[in-house]
Structure 1
Amino acid sequence: MNKTIAACIAATFAVNYSMTVHAEESFTAPLVEQSVLLDIDADKFVVIVGERGHVLTSEDGSDFKQQSVPTQSTLTATTVVGNNIWAVGHDAVILHSSDKGNTWKVQNYQPELQRPFLDVLFFDDQQGIATGAYGLFYRTLDGGNTWTAERHASLLDPMDQEYLEEIRKEDEAFYQQELESILPHLNRITLDGDTLYLAGEAGLLAKSDNMGASWERYYVDYTGSFFDIKPLDENTVLAVGLRGNIFVNRNQGEWEYVNTCSTSTLNSILLSTESKVYALGNNGMMVAAERPLPTSMRDPYATITDCESDDGIVVSQIKDKAALLNATQFNGKTIAVTANGIKTLNLK
């Protein structure tokens, strides 16, 4: 992987903030394992994050311990690299632990931005990025000791890019102001080999081959939000999002629609086996699809009553109908985080 970060097309500027004022320490919640939990990641251990600064860790995927962290801001995403954990969330907070969650440090805290981070990803223990609402995009090259904010105009719709370039010819300051105001939410980032994938608001799907320094936006015949994107193999990429929409791209061709006859928003993708993939969503919905995924013509006016799902699609619902936010497989189990806490999924 090329470790040189190319100059961004968008503006780049250093982040300055005071660490003298930061959020309060988290508090121990007796029912933390049943609280709203938003993300999970695992390597040799499991990390879960959620509302009110809740962070839980487990060595075996069964017994979880709540960790004391220096924030009560809701944490939306986490990532693990070796013994390092990064967690991000509301108030533009970024937390780091170098010892599996036993101790924590605030690396960023900017409530005045009024923008949450929604995802975080590290390429190694030094280089990483955090993304979020309204185009929020921060990068670190030193393990998070310093973070730099970037704006990426290449993530915008081509018509918006054209509009901005016309403004830029006349007024650079106004260009920067407009760019910041119309950038979409950046919901999820996924790394596969040397390729970085991004899913976001208003039909945004994009990829980068230089660690996110520049982006190539996909064209998708859909303007709703996407919440996850993952490659299934070297030729296939899957994306899921609002109102149960699933799209698949094969061999860098057009994005095709996968009809599930379910309208529950899909929050994340779980790669179960080489033959099956799951999409997890609101109302406790799980969409199982056999690979290769079937596709059909998308009819935005179709109703559920006259809908027939594509072959190999099975839609099920967990008992308490709690929103499924994300899941991972660890120690022979599928562990999910939901609006009602931690659950073990039975994938058939």
Structure 2
Amino acid sequence: MKKTIAACIAATFAVNYTSSALAEEAFLAPLVEQSVLLDIDADEFVVIVGERGHVLVSQDGNAFSQKQVPTHSTLTATTVVGDHIWAVGHDAVILHSSDKGETWEVQNYQPDLQRPFLDVLFFNEQHGIATGAYGLFYRTQDGGKQWVAERHASLLDPFDREYLEEIRKENEEFYQQELDSILPHLNRVTLDGNTLYLAGEAGLLAKSLNMGESWERYEVDYTGSFFDIKPLDDTTVLAVGLRGNVFVNRDQGEWEYVQTCSTSTLNSILIGSGSNIYALGNNGMLITAQRPLPTSMRDPYADPTECETDSGIAVTQVKDKAALLNATQFKGKTIAVSANGVKTLTLK
């Protein structure tokens, strides 16, 4: 598909391997399993990443070993494809391992950019994307040997796009500067079949049918940040975000609000077995919902002491109240990462 410059501006860059920060490898911490851990992924094995460049790998989901990696930058997200692992994070760092985490290479490191990557996803062992703060969006077609920066104006709300087009008529250079400065944070990307979903800042929910080359932004009556989006089936998409907000979209209609009566920010979605869906949040909050999801009118000014949850919604809290960041199911267990390290969750 032809891409206009307004929809996608791409540029290549040279990776900096000489910075002294890269010479400092992640500290091998004796209590690493209790440190701040931010993301988890699994295929035939489990990978966890977190603060100070911590990377943990487990073959059975029980015993984890920390791996030596060539950065101490906080790692925010990871993905597994076969034996390959990619991890991304602060300082725009991208790490890669081709042998299940035994050895690592730095594919990108740009501390001067001052923008962290927040998620990473690969369509196969060669083609992947990494997304992050202020519209950070990089793509590779060769397994990460080269990463190309893209800017997607289609992810902006219509008013911002209109503003930019007016500027562009007068000054292309200023247009590029403004585009780079007002793009929202891109928090999470999710692939389902041939559809790529994205959740971000300022009410951003979007989908792409061509691996993120172009985007269609959803209209949703909410301007806060979303932190995860996942399809539940062929016709239903769920999104969660700031202050406990949960929205569901059915049959490509309007996004509807799900009342949980929790104001803790929700960081991720876990689709359980059967009809249950889970949302993991700050303060150790775990929202359990049954399909089909009930909806109600959203009232941002309602008194929380008078709130009643929608039918089929249950709110629980883990004992230590540590923020739950993400979780995956592996060999019959639900393994979560949190501000207090690795947790095994018992889900109903």
Matched, 1:143 2:143: yes
Deviates more, 1:74-83 or 1:160-169: 160-169
Deviates more, 1:149-158 or 1:300-309: 300-309
Q: What letter is aligned with 1:14?
A: T
- Which of 17, 20, 44 in structure 2 is aligned with 1:19? 17
Residue 273 of structure 1 and its aligned partner are, at CA, apart by: 1.6
Q: Give the conservation status (yes or no) of the 8 Å contact 1:5–1:211.
A: no
Instruction: Write the distance in 1 (CA, Å) between the matches of 2:127 and 2:182.
Output: 27
Residue 20 of structure 1 and its aligned partner are, at CA, apart by: 1.9
Structure 1 unmatched ranges of 5 or more = none
Q: What letter is aligned with 1:35?
A: S
Deviates more, 1:159-168 or 1:9-18: 9-18
- Matched ranges for 1:42-81 at <5 A: 42-81=42-81
Quote the residue 1:311 is aligned against: 311
- Matched ranges for 1:92-171 at <5 A: 92-171=92-171
Residue 274 of structure 1 and its aligned partner are, at CA, apart by: 3.3
Q: What letter is aligned with 1:63?
A: A
Quote the residue 1:344 is aligned against: 344
Q: What letter is aligned with 2:108?
A: N
- Matched ranges for 1:179-194 at <5 A: 179-194=179-194
Q: TM-score, normalised by structure 2?
A: 0.98
Instruction: Write the distance in 2 (CA, Å) between the matches of 1:20 and 1:338.
Output: 33
Identity of aligned residues (%): 77
Q: Give the conservation status (yes or no) of the 8 Å contact 2:15–2:107.
A: no
Q: TM-score, normalised by structure 1?
A: 0.98
Residue 26 of structure 1 and its aligned partner are, at CA, apart by: 1.0
Residue 169 of structure 1 and its aligned partner are, at CA, apart by: 1.2
Closer, same or farther: CA 220–345 of 1 in aligned 2, 3 Å: same
Cα deviation digits, residues 167-225 of structure 1 (max 9, x gap): 11111110000000000000000000000000000000000000001000000000000
Matched, 1:249 2:249: yes
Q: Give the conservation status (yes or no) of the 8 Å contact 2:53–2:72.
A: yes
Deviates more, 1:82-91 or 1:164-173: 164-173
Look up the SS of the partner of 2:283 in the other structure: helix
Quote the residue 1:210 is aligned against: 210
Q: Give the conservation status (yes or no) of the 8 Å contact 1:84–1:125.
A: yes
Residue 19 of structure 1 and its aligned partner are, at CA, apart by: 1.4
Quote the residue 1:31 is aligned against: 31
Aligned-residue RMSD, C-alpha: 1.0
Q: Give the conservation status (yes or no) of the 8 Å contact 1:203–1:224.
A: yes
- Matched ranges for 1:258-337 at <5 A: 258-337=258-337
Deviates more, 1:163-172 or 1:112-121: 163-172
Residue 16 of structure 1 and its aligned partner are, at CA, apart by: 2.1
Q: Give the conservation status (yes or no) of the 8 Å contact 2:284–2:317.
A: yes
Q: What letter is aligned with 2:255?
A: W
Look up the SS of the partner of 2:232 in the other structure: strand
Residue 27 of structure 1 and its aligned partner are, at CA, apart by: 1.6
Cα deviation digits, residues 133-162 of structure 1 (max 9, x gap): 000000000000000000000000100001
Instruction: Write the distance in 1 (CA, Å) between the matches of 2:253 and 2:52.
Output: 42
Look up the SS of the partner of 1:38 in the other structure: strand
Look up the SS of the partner of 2:115 in the other structure: coil
- Matched ranges for 1:214-233 at <5 A: 214-233=214-233
Closer, same or farther: CA 53–103 of 1 in aligned 2, 3 Å: same
Q: What letter is aligned with 1:229?
A: I
Residue 6 of structure 1 and its aligned partner are, at CA, apart by: 5.5
Q: Give the conservation status (yes or no) of the 8 Å contact 1:36–1:51.
A: yes
Closer, same or farther: CA 136–164 of 1 in aligned 2, 3 Å: same
Q: Give the conservation status (yes or no) of the 8 Å contact 2:9–2:152.
A: yes
Instruction: Write the distance in 2 (CA, Å) between the matches of 1:185 and 1:15.
Output: 21
Instruction: Write the distance in 1 (CA, Å) between the matches of 2:3 and 2:102.
Output: 36
Q: Give the conservation status (yes or no) of the 8 Å contact 1:38–1:76.
A: yes
Q: Give the conservation status (yes or no) of the 8 Å contact 1:5–1:213.
A: no
Cα deviation digits, residues 83-142 of structure 1 (max 9, x gap): 000000000000000000000000000000110000000000000000000000000000
Instruction: Write the distance in 1 (CA, Å) between the matches of 2:274 and 2:146.
Output: 39
Question: What is the number of equivalent residue pairs in this alignment?
Answer: 345
Matched, 1:89 2:89: yes
Q: What letter is aligned with 2:284?
A: G
- Structure 1 residue ranges (4+ consecutive) displaced by more than 4 angstroms after TM superposition: 4-8
